[in-house]
A and B are shown apart, each in its own frame.
Chain A
Amino acid sequence: MIETISGISALYIFLLAAFAGYEVIAKVPVILHTPLMSGSNFIHGIVLVGAMIALGHAETTTEQVIGFFAVLLAAMNAVGGYVVTERMLEMFKSSKEKKND
């Protein structure tokens, strides 16, 4: 089994990650807000990892069915989030880059 994260270190992780998230976003210009929301939406697609573990440990049929939906939904979150974010960001170009096209 993976090493257990104990109570207080979990709190530290939580605190530091929250600061990291806050700081990273604080410097983003308004023009990127929509792609950014979409990008952060993609990042919580990491729930896929958890869904896979939950399904992997499922024993009864009920657990398997719910686990299946967890993985299905999580995969949609991750893949959909990536595709739309990439599409949006791909379009942002400066005048210089336009000329090189």
Chain B
Amino acid sequence: MTSLIEVVYFVAVALFILGLKRMSSPRHAREGIVWAGVGMVAATVATFFVPNLENFGLMIAAILIGSGIAFVSGKRVAMTDMPQMIALYNGMGGGAAAAIAAVELFKLSGHEVTATHTGITVHLAVLGAVIGTISFSGSLIAFAKLQGWLRKAIRFPNQQIFNMVVFAGTVGSGVYLAFVGADISMILIFFILALAFGVLVTIPIGGADMPVVISLFNALTGLAVAFEGFVLNNAAMIIAGTVVGAAGTLLTQLMAKAMNRPISNVLFGSFGVTGASSEEEVEGSMKPIEASDAAVMMAFAEKVIIIPGYGMAVAQAQHKIWEMSKQLIENGVDVKFAIHPVAGRMPGHMNVLLAEAGVPYDRIFDLDEINEDFNTTDVALVIGANDVVNPVARSNPESPIYGMPILNADYAKNVIVIKRGQGAGFSGIENALFYGDNTRMLYGDGQEMASQLIQGIKEL
């Protein structure tokens, strides 16, 4: 029986890796998650047959309750809220890994040390517990922030020193558990400190940097699962956890790079402190345009590139924008969508939102793929995006966003910017694009303006 269980685990792990691999192309991506899902179900069923297990009633109850809550919440969540939902589920995984370690540590505190609980496994249990617990409480804070429950970045004097002390305490109590022995009061102190550290390290981080942090916690949960896998001697957990740990680390790096924010800055710095010179003057003035004129401009263009930002999603304008694009395509206009890596709330989020609106993925292009095209584009339509099209990032070394790769919308013959009002963007930095000679501002709500553009194109 045990060898059969091992075989099932092996197949499950193979399905996980192949599934992740399948996700590397939009055409097969859905199959990828289904494969991984089959692996998960198989591994779970097989685990019921592991010898000498008890508490099946509790086990089934916990699975049913957990699955039920997650299924309903996962089906209901809006696509715009996806990042915080991922954070939440990730936190659950970290918490589970920490709880496994807790069970093992409590076993140690109450019983004679057995052969399976000696030496290196205890150290790994404690290590997994630290990582999993930090990921748990940190992810919950990340969720609360993105959900809007915790709006401000919380900072206080000597915060980093305080955090360091808490971290040192966590490590110290962990070392005690690993090397001296597990007693109940020390186990409690250890988990409370680790929980507190997860909270403390996440509260000063602003909403814009949250995707990087969520991705980091995702990688950490993977690692915690791998360590607990070593403790339980479970190859499926070791491999799947390590794969996610490595993949998550790479993903975190890619995201941080796309946002031009080194991971150390995300964790220990902040925009407001480093970017003191956001006050600089921009010459020229913003020139408004009417929706009907903008519609004419686009309808008679050969090439239009649409640059959506999170503002579009907030205004729920993506469906209207796609409707407008379809009209333009019928008129023979070449319409493309240009996505900045940090458009939306995390890399790739905007693609999900556009996909939801029905935009086919072969009309959507990455920054690297499309930036050359702006030179030959008649109209660049910017909707709800700001910092990602700010030419200051190319030209002004003083600017806090200097060096961030941007979409070169200003190279297009004409630029139309749909914007609510005249204020500065998310980061509070003036956008030189809005003052450009070839730029026209279309003031109003994204959805309303998109409707007016559709109307304008129809009337031609």
Once the chains bind, are B63 and A71 in contact (CB under 8 Å)? yes
Once the chains bind, are B222 and A40 in contact (CB under 8 Å)? yes
In B150-202, the 8 Å CB interface with A consists of: none
> Known contacts being A40-B218, A66-B106, A80-B88, is A33 close to B242, with CB within 8 Å?
no
Closest to A90 in B: B30
- Per the bound structure, the CA–CA distance linking A14 and B226 in Å amounts to 8
Instruction: List chain B residues, Cβ under 8 A from A80.
Output: 70-71, 73-74, 85, 88-89, 92
Q: How many A-B residue pairs have CB under 8 A?
A: 399
Once the chains bind, are A49 and B26 in contact (CB under 8 Å)? no
Instruction: List chain A residues, Cβ under 8 A from B243.
Output: 17-18, 20-21, 24, 40, 43
Partner of B366 from the list A21, A31, A37, A92 (CB cut-off 8 Å) is: A31
- Per the bound structure, the CA–CA distance linking A51 and B93 in Å amounts to 10
Closest to B242 in A: A17
Closest to B95 in A: A73
Task: Produce 1/0 per residue, A70-101, CB < 8 A to B.
Answer: 11111111111111111111111111011000
- Per the bound structure, the CA–CA distance linking A29 and B1 in Å amounts to 41
Partner of A54 from the list B93, B104, B258 (CB cut-off 8 Å) is: B104
Once the chains bind, are A56 and B50 in contact (CB under 8 Å)? yes
Partner of B230 from the list A10, A52, A91 (CB cut-off 8 Å) is: A10
Once the chains bind, are B44 and A52 in contact (CB under 8 Å)? yes
Once the chains bind, are B23 and A62 in contact (CB under 8 Å)? no
Once the chains bind, are B232 and A50 in contact (CB under 8 Å)? yes
For chain B, what secondary structure do more than half of its interface residues adopt (helix, strand, loop), or is it mixed?
Answer: helix
| Interface bracket on A | 35 or more
- Per the bound structure, the CA–CA distance linking A13 and B17 in Å amounts to 14
Instruction: List chain B residues, Cβ under 8 A from A7.
Output: 120
Surface stretch bound by A, among B309-317, B344-352, B412-420 = B344-352
Once the chains bind, are A77 and B93 in contact (CB under 8 Å)? yes
CB of B137 within 8 Å of the partner chain: no
| Interface bracket on B | 35 or more
> Known contacts being A77-B96, A89-B33, A95-B363, is A60 close to B247, with CB within 8 Å?
no
Closest to B110 in A: A60
Chain B's nearest CB lies how many Å from the CB of A28?
A: 4
- Per the bound structure, the CA–CA distance linking A75 and B61 in Å amounts to 11
Once the chains bind, are A94 and B362 in contact (CB under 8 Å)? yes
> Known contacts being A71-B63, A93-B361, is A50 close to B100, with CB within 8 Å?
yes
Chain B's nearest CB lies how many Å from the CB of A41?
A: 5
- Per the bound structure, the CA–CA distance linking A20 and B16 in Å amounts to 11
CB of B228 within 8 Å of the partner chain: yes
> Known contacts being A46-B40, A52-B53, A56-B55, is A86 close to B33, with CB within 8 Å?
yes
In A14-53, the 8 Å CB interface with B consists of: 14, 17-22, 24-53
CB of B206 within 8 Å of the partner chain: no
Instruction: List chain B residues, Cβ under 8 A from A30.
Output: 254, 258, 339, 341, 347-348, 351, 366
Instruction: List chain A residues, Cβ under 8 A from B17.
Output: 20, 24
Once the chains bind, are A66 and B103 in contact (CB under 8 Å)? yes
Once the chains bind, are A25 and B250 in contact (CB under 8 Å)? yes
Partner of B352 from the list A34, A54, A73, A94 (CB cut-off 8 Å) is: A34
- Per the bound structure, the CA–CA distance linking A91 and B255 in Å amounts to 23
Once the chains bind, are B355 and A24 in contact (CB under 8 Å)? no
Instruction: List chain A residues, Cβ under 8 A from B244.
Output: 21, 40-41, 43-44
- Per the bound structure, the CA–CA distance linking A14 and B43 in Å amounts to 20
- Per the bound structure, the CA–CA distance linking A91 and B54 in Å amounts to 42
Task: Produce 1/0 per residue, B82-124, CB < 8 A to A.
Answer: 1101101110110111011011101100100000000010000
The 5 closest A-B pairs by CB, nearest first: A75-B66, A56-B53, A83-B74, A21-B246, A33-B348
What are 28 A-to-B residue pairs whose CB atoms are below 8 Å? A2-B6, A17-B226, A18-B246, A22-B250, A24-B24, A29-B25, A31-B26, A33-B255, A37-B248, A39-B19, A42-B89, A47-B93, A53-B232, A53-B234, A56-B53, A56-B56, A58-B54, A71-B63, A72-B62, A75-B65, A75-B67, A76-B66, A76-B70, A77-B70, A83-B71, A85-B33, A86-B34, A93-B361
Supply 20 further A-B pairs (C-beta < 8 A) apart from A33-B254, A50-B228, A83-B75. Answer: A22-B247, A28-B23, A43-B19, A44-B221, A46-B237, A54-B103, A54-B104, A56-B56, A62-B106, A64-B55, A70-B100, A70-B102, A72-B62, A75-B65, A80-B74, A80-B89, A80-B92, A81-B90, A93-B360, A93-B361
